[in-house]
Amino acid sequence: MTLVVVVGGIPAAAAAQQETTAVSFENQATGGTTVTVDSVTLPEGGFVTIHDASVTDGNVLGSVVGSSAYLDAGTHEDVTVHLDEPVEESGTFVAMPHMDTDGDRVYSFVAANGEADGPYTADGSAVVDTATVNASATVSMSDQPTTGDSVVVDRVELSQGGFVTIHDGTVTEGAVFESIRGTSAYLPAGVHENVRVELDAPVTENTTLVPMAHMDTDGDETYTFPESEGETDGPYTADGSPVVDTAMAMPSDTASVNYTAQATGGYSVVVDSAYLPDGGFVTVHDGTVTEGQVFESIRGTSAYLEPGLHRDVRVTLDSPLNETTTVVPMAHMDTDDDETYTFPESEGEADGPYTADGSPVVDSGEATVSASVDYTTKASDGATVVVDRVELSQGGFVTIHDPSLSGGAVFDSVVGTSMYLPAGVHEDVEVTLDEPIRSSQVLTPMAHMDTNGNEAYDFVTSEGESDGPYTADGGAVVASAHTSVNAVVTAMDQSGDGTTVTVDSVTLHDGGFVTVHDGTVTEGAVFESVRGTSAYLAPGTHENVEITLDAPLDESGTVVPMAHMDTNGNEAYDFVTGE
């Protein structure tokens, strides 16, 4: 019997004696996805790893909840550590400096079963510091112009979901309810950027506003803090005080637009910000607009933008730029109120530009025609990585590099490359990795050309002679972000009598099981497809895991080994019975 195997996943080494190793980790609040280590000194480079309190009970591997990117030898301050699973409850956490014993700049302590990247020690014990981490929220908001009817909160991170409420400055004088100006829609747990909040009580003069993160204590996704007189949906707190920021909101009738020089594949540009008092559009002109080519210079226009401040406005161009050029983003009105840009076809009679001091409101800067890559923090099954967006001026590839790239490993850092991508815009590009990665790490997608025109990626095999990276401002066009890898399963096609399946390897950062599903799992038969499950597997990597099937296979077919968590901590597989 032959089985076609499809891999799926659901998300102490020798230690160095270093007297000068040190770490400082202060009590803090977190929105759930990161913590900050105040300082860490690594004599030979390495990482600072965050463990939960179970490390003190001997749970050396399973206590790891996150690790920093690779840090060079020396002292580092305010080190942000991304957590592989969001923190939802407050507790004690332990910051521990770790070595990079295998020199690959990837923290592989758990995946290597403690045989690599062990902790720095002093007097025979790991060097640590502990802190109480309050699962709470963070919020930030910058000074901004406003129509008076809305404001934009730069960033909100909520550990358990909720809202961001805008108070005016009287909240500091005890006007808890009366100070409320407006509240966002419900925001699920996680990070939210550029959150627009409509104000119920408009701002009519320069006013200090206080964005405050609020919980959804009754779980109804409706903000009821004021009407409940504070009984529900109270604020997130840190150190006994509400989580807030302050910013100046300045009513203005003057439009503005801001643009920073950037690399592009030629198909779009991103305008940093646009403030449109009455709504409208951002139109991108080329440099000939300064020579009087008012209509001919138009290269593209945004969708309609409602009144107020907008950030990171991507403008798709009507025809691609084919050479590096100056672009001139211009703020335009919607004079006929139809939310459709008709400035050129009306020969300027409709949707003309906003003006200031008698001139159109513009900014300008260079658009380098090359490529662009967008990649954000995400989880991976270890076998594939999804790149958010790739824009290529002449076709090519997006290649995934691991952290050894920062150490100069130009070729050895390549862990996977996309199929050939023609010139244009590509979203959600899935890249299958050459070998699975078994640890969370910072990955760097890089845009590469197809210099020899064969639509095959030859950069590594040609030792850089072919298919080099797209460049801008003297550097490769890249994006980098933390990529969480919590479980990895690998299995090969195999033959047998249908009573067992052998999984080549499984890495579980939190422990759990590997369950064999038949092919019906891909059709939605989540429970019915379960054929058998391993015994409990402790955190780390396990090889040649043989699974006896409860329901033997009677014909050749596809099976799907899948990593499962032990969410209730009883080391028994309850997924099916617990539904």
Q: For residues 109-130, give the mean pLDDT.
A: 96
349-386: per-residue pLDDT in tens? 999 999 999 999 999 999 999 999 999 999 999 999 99
Query: Is the pLDDT score of 4 beyond 60?
Result: no
283-318: per-residue pLDDT in tens? 999 999 999 999 999 999 999 999 999 999 999 999
Q: For residues 34-59, give the mean pLDDT.
A: 97
CB 440 within 8 A of CB 406: no
User: Which string of DSSP letters, residue by residue, matches 335-346?
Assistant: TTSSSS--TTTT
Instruction: Report the CATH fold assignment for 12-134.
Output: Immunoglobulin-like (2.60.40)
CA angle centred on 460, ends 455 and 466, rounded to 5°: 50
Instruction: Report the CATH fold assignment for 137-251.
Output: Immunoglobulin-like (2.60.40)
Tell me the two tokens of residue 417: 């490359």
Q: How confident is the model at residue 57 (pLDDT cuts 50, 70, 90)?
A: very high
- The larger pLDDT score, comparing residue 31 to residue 7, is at 31
Q: For residues 49-55, give the mean pLDDT.
A: 96
Per-residue b/e over 217-247, b at no fewer than 16 CB within 10 Å?
A: eeeeeebebeeeeeebbbbbebeeebbbbeb
CA distances from 299 to 296, 321, 325 (A): 8, 8, 12
252-285: per-residue pLDDT in tens? 999 999 999 999 999 999 999 999 999 999 999 9
Mean per-residue pLDDT of the chain: 95
% residues pLDDT > 90 (the chain): 93
Query: Rounded to whole angstroms, how far apart are CA atoms 488 and 382?
Result: 6
Task: Determine the residue type at 72.
Answer: D
Burial level of 457, CB count in 10 A (0-12/13-18/19+)? buried
166-211: per-residue pLDDT in tens? 999 999 999 999 999 999 999 999 999 999 999 998 999 999 999 9
Note the pLDDT of residue 5. Answer: 39
CB 511 within 8 A of CB 525: no
From the list 569, 554, 570, 561, the residue with the least C-alpha distance to 532 is 561
Query: Rounded to whole angstroms, how far apart are CA atoms 301 and 318?
Result: 8
Note the pLDDT of residue 472. Answer: 96
Q: For residues 391-410, give the mean pLDDT.
A: 97
Query: Rounded to whole angstroms, how far apart are CA atoms 183 and 150?
Result: 10
Note the pLDDT of residue 16. Answer: 44
Note the pLDDT of residue 14. Answer: 40
Neighbours of 101 (CB within 10 A): 19
Per-residue b/e over 374-389, b at no fewer than 16 CB within 10 Å?
A: ebeeebbbbbebbbbb
* pTM metric for this prediction: 0.91
CATH number of the domain located at residue range(s) 256-367 in this protein: 2.60.40
CA distances from 2 to 50, 321, 556 (A): 44, 53, 5
Delimit the CATH 2.60.40 region(s) of the chain: 12-134, 137-251, 256-367
Note the pLDDT of residue 19. Answer: 54
Instruction: Tell me the Cα Rg of the chain.
Output: 27
Note the pLDDT of residue 435. Answer: 95
CB 262 within 8 A of CB 269: yes
